[in-house]
Amino acid sequence: MNGQLTLWQVAAAYAFALVGGWISTSLRLAHKPLCALISLAAGTLLGVTLFAILPESFSNSSWWATVLAAATGYALFFFISKYVHHVCPACAASHFDADTTRHFSEIATALVVALAIHSTTDGVALGIGQGAPTAEAAKWSLFSALCIHKVPEGLALGSLLIGAGLQRTVALGWVAAVEATTLLGGVIGFFFLANASTFWLGLIMAHVGGGFLYLAAHAVLGEMMRHGKALVLTSFSMGVVLIGILNICLRMLAL
């Protein structure tokens, strides 16, 4: 993958987040369709981790190092969500109730910090695409999953900001500013990490995959507590299958 395409993918992921933010600040979206989209996006994150990230990481690094790297990615998001704030507004959408929006000013800093770390990680994963030890199919699977995930992320963040009383343009500006850390992560990955050895790139991707596992599990469990299991599990399964089929098709085209 050439450098220009890698930077284009980072910019596209950011644009998808802005689209989600624009929709939520312009329209009042009911939570049921948002729940379906969140579950679908969570499924894509699990799918890209199982079908692309971990298999490639295992093939380029020792199994114990890969497992440890994935565990650190999971643990990072777990502790941020537990002691700072929910690391992803989409994955924790059911927690953003009316009381949360009323006290938004008290949680704003923690939310921005948590989401900035999450979005930076997304950008890093895409930014190291030119040097990461992953097949083209895996790279496009990662790009697809992140773009799908970015839409409900922007939707949830925009909805929270509107619910907190911010004006439409101000809310959209906040979405753009916070999600811009995706671009920052892309720059870090592209210019500072892409030339690392395949061993370390594999571990970085495994670390990212561990974070994706946390986001997927947190999103599904959170939505199932508030909505019907059928809607959540169906949408989630569709996301997993979508990435699985995409990965198979891309590998066949590469042959």
Q: Which domain holds residue 216?
A: 3-254
Residue numbers of the chain with a pLDDT score lower than 70: 1-2, 28-29, 89-108, 129-135, 223, 225-228, 254-255
C-beta of residue 246 within 8 angstroms of C-beta of residue 51: no
Q: Which tokens sit at 68?
A: 């440890």
Number of domains in the chain: 1
Neighbours of 132 (CB within 10 A): 29
CA torsion sign for 37, 150, 110, 24 is: negative
Predicted local distance difference test score (pLDDT) of residue 91 = 67
Q: Is the pTM of this model over 0.95?
A: no
Predicted local distance difference test score (pLDDT) of residue 178 = 92
d(CA 175, CA 253): 37
C-beta of residue 43 within 8 angstroms of C-beta of residue 233: no
Half-sphere exposure of 190 (CA within 13 A, CB side): 22
d(CA 196, CA 133): 10
pLDDT in tens, 186-201: 999 999 887 788 899 8
Q: Which tokens sit at 22?
A: 């624009």
Nearest CA to 77 out of 178, 185, 218 is that of: 218
Instruction: Name every residue whose Cβ is closer than 8 Å to that of residue 67 and which is 6 or more positions away in sequence.
Output: 206
Predicted local distance difference test score (pLDDT) of residue 109 = 75
Predicted local distance difference test score (pLDDT) of residue 75 = 96
Predicted local distance difference test score (pLDDT) of residue 155 = 87
| Residue that has been written with the tokens 């697809």 in this structure | 144
Neighbours of 230 (CB within 10 A): 9
Neighbours of 120 (CB within 10 A): 21
Predicted local distance difference test score (pLDDT) of residue 229 = 81
Three-class secondary structure of residue 62 per DSSP: coil
C-beta of residue 161 within 8 angstroms of C-beta of residue 108: no
